[in-house]
Amino acid sequence: MITTQPTRQKIFTSYQVFIIAILAILQFSVILDFMVLSPLGAILIEKLHIRTAQFGLVVSVYAFSAGTSGLLAAGFADRFDRKKFLLFFYAGFLIGTFLCAIAPTYQFLLMARIVTGIFGGVIGSVSFAIISDLFRMEVRGRVMGFVQMAFAASQVLGLPIGLILANHFGWHAPFWMIAGFGVIVGVIIMIYMKPVTGHLQIKSDQRNPFHHLIKTISQSNYIRAFLATTLLATGGFMLMPFGSAFGIFNLGLTLKQLPILYGVTGIFSIAFGPLIGKLSDKIGKFEIFVAGSLISMIMVAIYTNLGITPLWLIIILNVLLFAGISSRMISSSALMTAVPEPQDRGAFMSINSSVQQIAGGFASAIAGLIIVQTKSGLLEHYNRLGYVVIGTISITLIMMYFLNKYVLEKKAKSFKPVIQPEQAELAIE
């Protein structure tokens, strides 16, 4: 009997490649809106004559409004075409970014950040729901690796460009850049993305949006995931908003060196993204999460206790830190997509995003209260934030262990052999 060797199938179709690319670009614009505040921190504190606590509030109000809107939207997330749902919130996000671009005062900027958060906070959850609908669990690590590259790309392209624009044209310029870029992305999604309505075909007992929200929140396994997300959000929201100010006032960097630091770190992070995603699919998502957590804890302990340090050494430490952070983000995001049932994905992702934003808001506000800026500009107690982050990472490791155990058990229960044992015997005979 002659057998032909099957041709190797492509992992992704051309349309799936487009979806990965457009969702990554979409995430880039949303993350950039948050990330750009970090390097602008030193500029805003000086230009708007505000304290570190007030700047911490600028960051945290986005998170609080994003978390609130995510909860309100959760009940509706599985009742509409995900494409329309995505476009609605992205349009609102761009309006909020435009308001940031024209903000004349601190109070106006605060209001603009609230508007941006109301709409921007839901976009990530809709994107992850789309990924869960269109991609198998076995390849979601790769997908998350590419989509989460947006986090690194926002540093390579966004942060240096944002700093250059802010230095030459004022701090409003980066927001103009994001708004203009976002309009182009929105038009592409509107024209080329197909409706995502598969979840609407699944029979569900959800009578109304409120009932759907309550039922999703009340499930014990979902609650465990939400608690894990609460601690996952702590690290970034505590350390990153004051990262540029710490670099300038404590590490001895200049505003011209910041783009170099963020740029080099981002280039390495972009290279790490797909590799981490592929490894999480092959080795295991939880295993990569553990490795990333250990690297992050070591780097946070070192970085937050530094004094005046050469640029080359800061770059090395930053690259290692973000390698750990990327490993945690990619692996945990892929693992979270396996937790909800198909008919609950939109609501689960929306609530999960809300929990992340609200937890991050509290973390950012607390960080602003812990850190004290002296008359010389030096930031004190930044290392205390590092110890808090290390503590939350340690607890999250335990929580993710049990979450991974649940996912594996769920997968084992859902697996059904194509041929039953008795059928196999008949086939042999």
| pLDDT tens series, the chain, 429 aa | 444 444 445 778 889 889 989 998 898 888 888 777 766 777 787 778 777 778 778 877 887 788 788 777 777 777 778 899 899 999 999 999 999 999 888 889 999 999 998 898 788 888 888 888 888 878 888 888 888 777 777 766 766 777 778 888 888 888 998 999 999 999 999 999 998 887 777 665 555 667 777 877 788 888 888 888 888 877 666 777 777 778 888 888 887 888 788 878 888 888 888 888 888 888 888 999 999 999 999 999 998 898 899 999 999 999 999 889 888 888 888 888 888 887 777 788 888 878 877 787 778 778 878 887 777 778 888 888 889 889 989 999 999 999 998 888 887 776 544 434 443 333 333
Residue 5 included in any domain: no
Beta bridge partners of 396: none
**Domain housing 122:** 14-197+207-410
Rounded Cα distance between 290 and 135, Å, is 24
Helix 285-303 and helix 382-414: axis angle, to 10°? Answer: 180
Count Cβ atoms below 10 Å from residue 27 Cβ, excluding itself: 21
| Residue-level pLDDT at 410 | 80
Structural domain count of the chain: 1
Contact at 8 Å (CB) between 355 and 230?
A: yes
| Residue-level pLDDT at 7 | 45
The residue whose two tokens read 């052999």 is: 417
Residue 59 included in any domain: yes
Contact at 8 Å (CB) between 238 and 392?
A: no
Stretch (H or E) spanning 372: strand 372-373
Q: What is the CATH number of the domain that holds 78?
A: 1.20.1250.20
Alpha helix stretches (DSSP H) within 135-233: 140-147, 149-153, 159-169, 173-192, 209-218, 220-232
Residue 27 included in any domain: yes
Helix 382-414 and helix 345-370: axis angle, to 10°? Answer: 170
Q: Find, among 91, 137, 135, 140, the residue nearest to 115 by Cα.
A: 91
Residue 340 included in any domain: yes
Q: Which two tokens stand for residue 301?
A: 């302990």
pTM over 0.75: no
Residue 9 included in any domain: no
